Chain A
Amino acid sequence: MTATTYQPGEIQGLIKIDASKCKGCDACKKFCPTNAIEGASGAAHSIDQDKCVGCAQCLVNCPFNAIEETHSAIETVIKKLADKNITVVAIPAPSVRVAIGEEFGLGTGSLVTGKMYGAMNKAGFRIFDCNFAADLTIMEEGSEFIHRLHATVKGDPNAGALPQFTSCCPGWVRYLETNYPSLLPNLSTAKSPQQMAGTVAKTYGAKIYDMEPEKIFTVSVMPCTAKKVEASRPEFNDAWKYHKEQGSRAAEYPDVDAVLTTRELAKLFKMLDIDLASTPEYKGDSLFSEYTGAGTIFGVTGGVMEAALRTAYKVLTGSEMAKLEFEPVRGLKGVKEASVTLFDNELSQNVTVNVAVVHDMGNNIEPVLRDVMAGTSKYHFIEVMNCAGGCINGGGQPIEGTGSSWLGNI
C-alpha cells in the first residue's frame, strides 16, 4: 500500500490549481505554509496533497483566480433548510461576524453579529454560536493546561507534556501530525470549537432543541477551508457514539454535517435573496448564542492565549485579572511571548508561566519546534495559528477585504 497522509474518509485534494488559468507567477508558493506547491516559474503549478493542510492561503492570494476548492456544501445545506423535518443548526466562528459584511457592501472588519444572526434566522437556521464552544474550549483546554502544570511542578512522572500546544487550528494540527509526530503528546487533547459545537449540538443540544439527534443537521460556518477537512476526520462522530451507548440504533452520522466558509455563507444568503446589510438584528434563539468576549477573540492571533490566561488566572489565584486586555500577545509579530507570575493557591507558591503565540505558521514555527524537540524550549503554553493574523485572515474569508478577487479572471 502506498503511503498517504489521509485517513480513510477524509477529504483529499480540497484545494486545487486550475492549470489552464495558472500563470506560474509563484505568488502562491510565498503564501503556502507547507511548501506543498510545485512547478517552475512560468509553468503551471500543482499541489502536493500529502503536504497540503487545506488552508487556502494560496487561493486567497493568487492574483489570477487560478486556485479553487473542490468541495462545497451549499446545495446540500439549502436542501436541508427546505426540509421541515430537519433542524438545521448554524455554527458561526468568531471571525465570520467581522468579515461577512464585506460581501454585502459594509466596511472591512464591520462587526455584524446581530445582522448575521438575523440573516441566518431568515434562512431557517437555528443559531449555535461557535463562540459559545470557544468558551467551552477554554474551560477544557485551560483546565488541561493547569493539570499538566501542576503535575509537572509536583514531579508526577505521568504529567502531560509541556509546553502544551493549542489544538484549535486544523491546519496546524495536520501539519504537526504530518511532520512532527513525536510532538503530538504536546497538543492539547481538547477538540477545536467547531468540533465541540457539533458534538454538543447533537447531545445536550438535542435536549435543548427537543429533537432527535439524527434530525439535527449541523452546519459550521468558518473563515477556514481546512475546517472542511477537519470535520471529515472519521473519529469525529462522538455524538453518534454517545447515543449508541444509550441504546440508539440510528445510522452513523458525523458531529459536523457540513462546513461552509464565510464566502459560501454569503453566497447562500444571496441565493436565498437575503440581504444581510438590510436585515434587522436578531438576538439568537437559545443559550447557545450566549458567548463572552474571551470566546470571540479566538479569531485573532493571540486570542486563544489571552482567553485562556483570563480563565487560568482566575482558577489559579482565585481572583480576576485586573486588566483583561493582555497586550503582549496582541499584534502581528511572528512570535510573541510573555511571562506571567502569579500566586498559585493550590501550590501555595508563586509560579511563572511562559507563553508564546505563533501565527503565519510557515514563516515562524520551525525555530519554536526545534527548541521543543531539543528540550530547550522555555515555554509552557504555545498558541499556534496557521494563518497570518489568525482566522480573521483565513482562507475561507472574503478576498482582500472587499469580497472579490482584486484582479479577477485575467
Chain B
Amino acid sequence: MSKKSYLFAEDSFFLSRRKFIAIGAAFAAALALPVGWFSSKLERRNEYIKARTEGLYKDDAIAKLRVSHANPAVEKYYKEFGGQPLGHLSHDLLHTHFVDRTKLS
C-alpha cells in the first residue's frame, strides 16, 4: 500500500464520518418526528377543529336572534350614540386605515 492510498483511506474515513454526523442529525430528526407524524397531527387537529366548530354552530342554532341587524343592543348603539353604519362617527371610531409595510424604516 502506498503512502498516498493510505492518506486517501484516512481522508475517506473522515469524509464518511462527517457524512455520518450529517446523516445522524437527519436521523435524530426522523426519530423525533416519526413517519406519519404530520398526517396524524393534521388528523387530530381537524378533530378538535370540528369539535369547536360544532360548539359555535350550536351557539348560533340556540341563539334567540341569529342575524346581526336584529341585535337590539346594536340598534341601541346606533340610536343613542353611533348614528348609522358608515356614518361620521363610524368613520372615526369603527374604521381604520392600513399600512404599506414595504415602506417602513
List A residues at the B interface (Cβ < 8 Å): 1-7, 23-27, 30, 41-43, 61, 63-64, 94-95, 97-99, 107-111, 113, 132, 134-136, 138-140, 142-144, 147, 167, 173-174, 176-178, 181, 184, 187, 189-191, 195-196, 199-200, 203-204, 207, 235-236, 238-239, 241-242, 287-288, 290-297, 299-300, 303, 307, 310-311, 314-315, 320, 324, 332, 388-390, 392-393, 397, 400-401
- Cβ contact within 8 Å between A195 and B71: no
- A-B residue pairs in contact (CB < 8 Å), sample of 24: A5-B104, A27-B38, A111-B56, A135-B74, A139-B85, A177-B99, A191-B95, A200-B94, A204-B82, A235-B97, A238-B92, A239-B93, A241-B92, A290-B72, A293-B61, A293-B63, A295-B68, A297-B59, A307-B68, A311-B67, A332-B50, A390-B53, A401-B44, A401-B51
- In the complex, residue of chain B having the shortest beta-carbon distance to the beta carbon of A6: B104
**In the complex, chain A residues whose CB is within 8 Å of the CB of B76:** 287
Contact A199/B94 with A295-B68, A297-B60 known, Cβ cut-off 8 Å: yes
Take A4-B105, A332-B46, A392-B49 as given contacts and tell me if A139 and B74 are in contact as well, using a CB distance cutoff of 8 Å.
Answer: yes
Q: Is B35 close to A, CB under 8 A?
A: no
| B binding-site residues for A, Cβ under 8 Å | 25-26, 28-29, 32-33, 37-38, 41, 44-61, 63, 65-74, 76-78, 80-82, 85-86, 90, 92-105
Contact residues in B for A290 (Cβ distance below 8 Å): 71-73
| B69-A297 in contact (CB<8A) | no
Instruction: Give bound CA distance, A187 to B99, whole Å.
Output: 11
| CB-based contact A297/B38 at 8 Å | no
Q: Which of A107, A195, A397 contacts B96 (CB 8 A)?
A: A195
Q: A25-B32, A239-B93, A290-B72 are contacts. A204–B77 as well, Cβ < 8 Å?
A: yes
Whether B102 pairs with A181 at a CB distance below 8 angstroms is yes
Contact A200 B66 (CB under 8 A): no
A332 in contact with B49 (CB, 8 Å):
yes
| A295-B52 CB under 8 A given contacts A26-B29, A97-B59 | no
Cα(A140)–Cα(B63), bound, Å: 22
Name the residue on B nearest A191 (C-beta): B96
What A residues does B70 contact at CB under 8 A? 292
Q: CB distance B94 to A196 under 8 Å? A: yes
Q: Decide if A94 touches B56 in the complex (CB within 8 Å).
A: yes
CB distance from B20 to the nearest CB of A (A): 13
Residues of B within 8 A of A196 (CB): 93-94
Q: Is the CB of A310 within 8 A of B29?
A: no
Contacts of A173 in B (CB 8 A): 98
- With A292-B68, A314-B69, A332-B49 as given contacts, are A25 and B29 in contact (CB-CB < 8 Å)? yes
A332→B55 CA distance, assembly (Å): 16
Partner of B67, one of A195, A203, A310: A310
Q: How far is the CA of A177 from the CA of B51 in the complex (A)?
A: 33
Per CB-CB distance, the 8 closest pairs between chain A and chain B, nearest first, are: A109-B51, A401-B48, A98-B55, A42-B25, A293-B60, A293-B66, A389-B49, A293-B63
Query: In the complex, A43→B29 CA distance in Å?
Result: 9
Task: Known contacts A42-B25, A140-B95, A204-B77; decide if A292 and B49 are in contact (CB<8 Å).
Answer: no
Other contacts beyond A61-B45, A144-B86, A203-B93: 9, CB < 8 A: A5-B102, A27-B37, A41-B29, A207-B81, A242-B92, A287-B77, A293-B66, A389-B45, A390-B53
Contact assessment for A109 and B55 in the assembled complex, using a CB-CB cutoff below 8 Å: yes
Q: What distance in Å separates the Cβ of A340 from its nearest Cβ neighbour in chain B?
A: 15
Contacts of A303 in B (CB 8 A): 56
Nearest-neighbour CB distance to chain A for B31, whole angstroms, equals: 9
Among the listed A2, A139, A189, A393, which residue makes an inter-chain contact with B97, where contact means beta carbons less than 8 Å apart? Answer: A189
A177's partner among B47, B67, B77, B98 (CB-CB below 8 A) is: B98
Contacts of B69 in A (CB 8 A): 138-139, 311, 314-315
A288 pairs with B99, CB closer than 8 A = no
Chain B residues in 8 Å Cβ range of A307? 67-68
Residues of chain B lying within 8 A (CB to CB) of residue A7: 99, 104
Q: How far is the CA of A299 from the CA of B68 in the complex (A)?
A: 15
Contacts of B98 in A (CB 8 A): 173, 176-177, 184, 187
**Which of A1, A295, A400 is the most central at the interface, judged by chain B CB atoms within 10 Å of its CB?**
A295
Residues in B neighbouring A392, C-beta threshold 8 A: 49, 52-53, 55-56
A242 to B93, CA, bound (A): 8
Tell me the nearest residue of chain A to B72, going by C-beta. A290
